[in-house]
Chains A and B, each alone.
Chain A
Amino acid sequence: GAGVSQSPSNKVTEKGKDVELRCDPISGHTALYWYRQSLGQGLEFLIYFQGNSAPDKSGLPSDRFSAERTGGSVSTLTIQRTQQEDSAVYLCASSLRPGTGINQPQHFGDGTRLSIL
């Protein structure tokens, strides 16, 4: 399909383990966003990538969270030493280049449901 693809769709892991979540954006989309959807906090922005620019990491909740985007396409969100409060649905979105005076809609993947035991 041509949509944003995320994997895995579900992940259950033990507290203290590291996890990696993957996002494949829509081909040709230069902007990529990670969000988190949790019961207590609603939908929160985590991090944003645009081309080769430095990412906007202002939404990452702690230094246990990191993300990278290789080759301007696939992105991986890594959570180290997971805690129970990290349990949430992690959503990835992509869009054409923003900030050009034309607001580009973000297209969301189905998310990864992360459960920390």
Chain B
Amino acid sequence: GDSVTQMEGPVTLSEEACLTINCTYTATGYPSLFWYVQYPGEGLQLLLKATKADDKGSNKGFEATYRKETTSFHLEKGSVQVSDSAVYFCALTPYGGTDKLIFGTGTRLQVFP
């Protein structure tokens, strides 16, 4: 079945460092891809999405590009802030399905001043 694999955490960075969180997927057809974020004490929020190959999703300085050839959707940010500390989840919805989300295991990001 469809699945998502993302890098283990925690990822620990200093403020203004570059961030990459790797995400790869296994799916038939053309799934839609997402990054969700869960800030401490808060609910899951959609960070960005991409619905077809070569699409780039972006929000709050974060970007991710839908790479069909490598089945990847890596999350990147050029300069992280302390306020970016959260758990990040890569997810997909299967092609032609009910839009149920299949999540990766999550990656905790800790940014220190």
Contact = CB atoms under 8 A, between A and B. Distances in A.
Interface of A: 31, 33, 35, 42-45, 48, 50, 56, 59, 91, 93, 95, 98-99, 103-111
A48 B100 contact: yes
Given A56-B98, A103-B32, A103-B93, A42 B43 contact: no
A1 B103 CA distance: 27
- Output the residue of B97, B98, B102 with the most chain A CB within 10 A: B98
B101 A33 contact: yes
A43 B106 contact: yes
Mostly, the A contact residues are strand
Contacts of B44: 91, 93, 108
B71 interface: no
Given A43-B106, A50-B98, 8 more contacts: A42-B104, A43-B91, A43-B103, A91-B43, A105-B46, A106-B46, A107-B46, A108-B43
A106 B88 CA distance: 16
A54 to B, nearest CB: 11
B89 interface: yes
A103 B45 CA distance: 16
Most chain B beta carbons < 10 A, residue from A42, A59, A103? A103
Q: Which 8 A-B pairs have the closest CB atoms?
A: A98-B99, A43-B103, A108-B44, A110-B43, A45-B100, A103-B32, A42-B105, A108-B43
Contacts of A110: 42-43
B51 interface: yes
B98 A103 contact: no
Contacts of B99: 31, 48, 95, 98-99, 103-104, 106
A45 B89 CA distance: 14
B93 A59 contact: no
B32 A48 contact: no
Contacts of B74: none
B100 A42 contact: no
